[in-house]
Amino acid sequence: MTKQSQPTQRKIKVAASILAADFGHLAAAVDRAEQAGVDRIHVDVMDGHFVPNISIGTPVVASLRKVTSLPLETHLMIDEPIRYLELFQQAGSDSLLVHVEGQSNLHRTVQAAKDLGIGIGVVINPATPVDAVDAIIDQVDQVLVMTVDPGFGGQALIPSTLAKVIALRDKIDTAGLQCELSVDGGISPATAPEAIAAGADVLVAGSAIFRSESSIADAVDALG
């Protein structure tokens, strides 16, 4: 049995992932999520190379920027994201998330984002060891653990990924770092307590919010 992180008084934040929203009524969905009290909007960008799917790009981010005052967190599931940092910043992203996998120089990418004055976080896939972020964790604003394989919404959380959350929580707390620890994938009212107990600060949820049988407000409340 995996040892859980010690409970704390951390403020838990919710990021609404629009990948699960109705793109035909995206502005309305984002507005309802904002009214429900989510803390930020999570935008998944996929290029068909780093992950099999293709999703959205800068025009959608720019459109979202016009309809919400919430922070826009853009998750770049793309090869060599350094090429697109400035474009997404100009479109209205408040922070960017880049994978430790799929790029040739993670340090250069993180520094490029910092030079733009935009928030930057790193992401690890389920198969990636947590020590992949050791050399960069003190330079980023967020570490996000994929709790499913990236590229598709609506998957079930992979239980073994919670051990990575526990390990990263320990690294962050031991070093006295201020970076957030997020989880993304399979987050629901059933799994959110496990993720929080493991040490997550931020819950990225899509299907649990936008495809719930209850209202978006009730769905957000159910995440705790």
Angle CA 162–163–168, to nearest 5 = 95
Per-residue pLDDT, 48: 82
* pLDDT at 141 > cutoff 50: yes
* Residue whose tokens read 């959110």: 192
Contacts with 163 (C-beta within 8 Å, 6 or more apart), sequence order: 2, 198
Q: How far separated are the first and last CA of the chain, in Å rounded?
A: 24
Q: From the candidates 39, 141, 184, 201, which is the catalytic residue?
A: 184
73 located within any domain: yes
* pLDDT at 109 > cutoff 70: yes
2 located within any domain: no
User: Mean of the per-residue pLDDT values for the chain?
Assistant: 93
Of 52-61, 114-123, 134-143, the range with the lowest mean pLDDT is 52-61
Question: By percentage, how much of the chain surpasses pLDDT 90?
Answer: 84
1 located within any domain: no
Catalytic, 201? Answer: no
161 located within any domain: yes
Three-state DSSP at 42 gives strand
How many CA atoms within 13 Å lie on the side-chain side of 40? 20
Q: From the candidates 44, 47, 141, 201, which is the catalytic residue?
A: 44
CA–CA gap between residue 53 and residue 115 (Å, rounded): 30
93 located within any domain: yes
pLDDT band at residue 53 using 50, 70 and 90 as cut-offs: confident
Residue-number span of the structural domain to which 43 is assigned: 13-222
Catalytic, 44? Answer: yes
Token duo for residue 106: 């993670």
* pLDDT at 7 > cutoff 70: no
141 located within any domain: yes
- Cβ(42)–Cβ(17) under 8 Å? yes
Question: What sections of the chain are H helices per DSSP?
Answer: 26-36, 58-67, 85-91, 106-116, 161-175, 192-198, 207-210, 216-222
Structurally, how many domains does the chain consist of? 1
Helix%, strand%, coil% for the chain, nearest 5: 40, 20, 40
CATH number at residue 140: 3.20.20.70
61 located within any domain: yes
Token duo for residue 93: 């992203």
Of 46-60, 73-87, 90-104, the range with the lowest mean pLDDT is 46-60
Per-residue pLDDT, 49: 83
5 located within any domain: no
Within a 10 A sphere around the Cβ of 54, how many other Cβ atoms?
Answer: 12
